[in-house]
Structures are given as structure tokens and as C-alpha cells.
Amino acid sequence: MAKQNRRTTAEEVLRCVLGSLDNTKKYFSMDLSILICKAQARRRGHPQPASMARPEHPLDHQFLRLLRTRPIAIKEAQLYPRQTRKGRALLRRLNISEESRTLNDLKESRRNSRIEKGVGQPGILCILLPARSKLVHLAAGEETRLIQLLSQNEELLAAAKPLSPKLHRYQCWYDDDKGS
């Protein structure tokens, strides 16, 4: 059976993000510190205390993935400001496992970094969480188009602005626990 071409357009991503915007805003209006604590406890191999019980939200996994992958491109830019390294060489330099999952994380991190820089608003990555699975299937030209569409959408930019400092705080907290 032939593999289906799952290419996604920038407009499809934008529709998905706009259709989920109210839910995304509600999600980020919640205190996500328990989610970070749960992730930290899992990484350390500790059982989850009953006091940390919280129903799972559909965006939890996406948000934790963003927090896990985002630092890779940031570290790459710090180490190699004028060039992009080959995936495996960069991961070795960062002392990160070279598994295929990690290589996918690197690709995702680089894409997110390009979008974040292109739009000029880190919080836009939070707004894009509901469409993360679609972003994987964007061609380079569509990624550029998406950056243009996001940059021109005042509603999304306004929603992303207050999320930038939240993302920064949660990222610092998440990274601090990892010793990064």
C-alpha cells in the first residue's frame, strides 16, 4: 500500500489554530505547575503523589514536548550562531542521545525556532500547540507562508503576547530540573 502524501498547507494550520484558540487560551489560563511537577517526578522515577492528581488535558503532551524540544535549537544557536550542524554531530556535542526520536525532536526544535524568530513572539509556539501534528507535514515554502500569516493575524499575536513570559517561566523551571 502506497504511503499517502500528508502535506499540509499554511492555511490548514491557521484554520486549526483559530478553531482551537479559545481552548488554547483556557488551557494557558490554568496553572500548569502541577504538570511540570508531574513531568519532573516521572523523570526522576518517583511515584506521583495523590496531591498532584490532575485530569489530563489534550494539550498536556504537546506542551511538555515543546518544553523538551525547544532548548535544542536554542543551544544550537548559542554554540553555532552562523551555521546549522548536522543532526547527529550536534546531538553528540550536546551530549544528547542520537535516537531517531531525538533526531525528530531536533527537526521539530529547529522548525519551532524558525517560526518563533519569524513571528517575533515566543508565545506563538503555545498558540500553535493544537496544530503540532500538522506542522510536521509543512513544506519549507508553506512554513514561510505560515510565518507570514501568523505575523499578519492580530488576534493570534494578541493571544500569543501574554504567553511569551509564561513560556519563558515554564521553560526555565522545566530546564532547571533537568540540570540544563
Model confidence pLDDT, tens digit, residues 61-84 = 999 999 988 888 877 777 776 666
**Count of domains for the chain:** 1
Say if CB 117 and CB 85 are below 8 A apart. Answer: no
**54 inside domain:** no
Which residues constitute the domain of residue 143?
Answer: 10-19+59-178
Q: Is the pLDDT of residue 30 over 90?
A: yes
Nearest-angstrom CA–CA distance, 100 and 34: 29
* Residue 41 resides in a domain: no
pLDDT value, residue 73: 80
Q: Mean pLDDT of all residues in the chain?
A: 84
The answer to whether 123 and 161 are in contact (CB under 8 A) is yes
| Residue 157 clears pLDDT 50, i.e. is over it | yes
- Cβ–Cβ < 8 Å for 165, 27: no
In a domain, 3, yes or no: no
Does residue 131 lie within any of the structural domains? yes
Q: Which three cell numbers stand for residue 7?
A: 502535506
Domain assignment of residue 33, yes or no: no
Q: What is the pLDDT of residues 85-131, one digit of tens each?
A: 666 677 777 777 666 567 778 888 889 999 999 999 999 999 999 99
CB contact at 8 A, 69 and 108: yes
pLDDT at 48 over 60: no
Give 46's pLDDT tier (boundaries 50, 70, 90): low
User: What is the distance, to the nearest Å, from the Cα of residue 44 to the centroid of all Cα atoms in its chain?
Assistant: 22
Whether 52 is covered by a domain: the verdict is no
Helix (H, G, I), strand (E, B) or coil at 138: strand
pLDDT of residue 179: 46
Does residue 37 sit within a domain? no
Q: Is the pTM of this model over 0.85?
A: no
Residue 47 within a domain = no
Tracing cell 498547507 back to the chain, one arrives at 9
Mean pLDDT along residues 174-178: 74
